[in-house]
Amino acid sequence: MFWSSALSAFLASIVEFVEALTIVLVVGVTINWKSALWAAVAAVGTLAVLVGVFGTALVAFVPIVALRLIVGVILIMFGLKWLKKAIMRYSGLKALHDEEAIYEEEMRAMRARGESLPNKIDGFGFATAYKSVLLEGLEVAFIVITFGSSAATNDADKTTSLLAATIGALIAGVLVIVAGVLVRGPLTKVPENTLKFSVGIMLTSFGTFWGGEGLGIEWPGADLMLIALVAIYLLASAALVYWLKSLNQPTAPESRSISSRDPLAPLRKEEGL
Partner 1 sequence: MKFLKAVFNFFVGDWIILIGVAVLLVVIALLEQTTHQDLLAGFLMIAGLIAILAFTLRREVKPKS
Please name the residues in contact with 81: beta carbons below 8 A apart, sequence gap of 6 or more.
Answer: 200
- Cα separation, 238 vs 64, in Å, equals 34
Backbone phi, psi, residue 134, to 5° = -65, -45
For residue 177, what are the contacts with CB-CB under 8 A and spacing of at least 6? 17, 21
- Pair 225, 219: CB distance under 8 Å: yes
Indicate whether 260 belongs to the interface with partner 1 (CB under 8 A).
no
Under rule CB under 8 A, residue 173 binds partner 1: no
Q: Does 138 bind partner 1 (CB under 8 A)?
A: yes
Q: Considering the rule CB under 8 A, would residue 80 count as an interface residue with partner 1?
A: yes
Site for partner 1 (CB under 8 A): which residue of 151, 210, 233, 271? 233
Stretch that binds partner 1, among 41-49, 108-116, 157-165, 212-220 (CB under 8 A): 212-220
Sequence-ordered alpha helix ranges (H) in the chain: 2-30, 33-50, 56-61, 64-90, 99-112, 123-150, 158-183, 192-214, 225-247, 253-256, 265-271
Does position 203 interact with partner 1 (CB under 8 A)? The reply is no
Residue placing its CB nearer to partner 1 in the complex, 74 or 121? 74
231 near partner 1, judged by CB under 8 A? no
Min CB(84)–partner 1 separation in Å: 6
Question: In whole angstroms, what is the distance from residue 214 CA to residue 122 CA?
Answer: 48
Contacts of 250 (CB under 8 A, 6+ apart): none
Sign of CA dihedral 233, 236, 241, 242: positive
Name the one range near partner 1 by CB under 8 A: 35-43, 102-110, 173-181, 252-260: 252-260
Q: How far is the CB of 269 from partner 1 (least distance, A)?
A: 10
Please say which residue, 88 or 165, places its beta carbon nearer to partner 1.
88
For residues 194 and 134, is the Cβ–Cβ distance under 8 A?
no
Q: Closest distance between partner 1 and the C-beta of residue 263, in Å?
A: 22
Contact 73, 207 (CB under 8 A): yes
Nearest-angstrom CA–CA distance, 234 and 213? 21
Angle at CA 55, nearest 5°, toward 50 and 60?
Answer: 145
Interaction between residue 243 and partner 1 (CB under 8 A): yes
| Interface with partner 1, residue 84, by CB under 8 A | yes
By CB under 8 A, the count of residues binding partner 1 is 38
**Least distance to partner 1 from the beta carbon of 217, Å?**
5
Gap between the Cα atoms of 93 and 84, Å rounded: 11
Using rule CB under 8 A, residue 242 touches partner 1: no
221 binds partner 1 (CB under 8 A): no
CB of 38 to partner 1, least distance (A): 24
Smallest CA-to-CA distance from 164 within 150, 178, 175 is with 150
Q: Among 100, 155, 254, 262, indicate the residue that binds partner 1 (CB under 8 A).
A: 254
208 binds partner 1 (CB under 8 A): yes
Which residues contact partner 1 (rule: CB under 8 A)?
Answer: 73-74, 76-78, 80-81, 83-84, 87-88, 93, 138-139, 204, 208, 211-212, 215-220, 229, 232-233, 236, 240, 243-244, 247-249, 252-254, 272
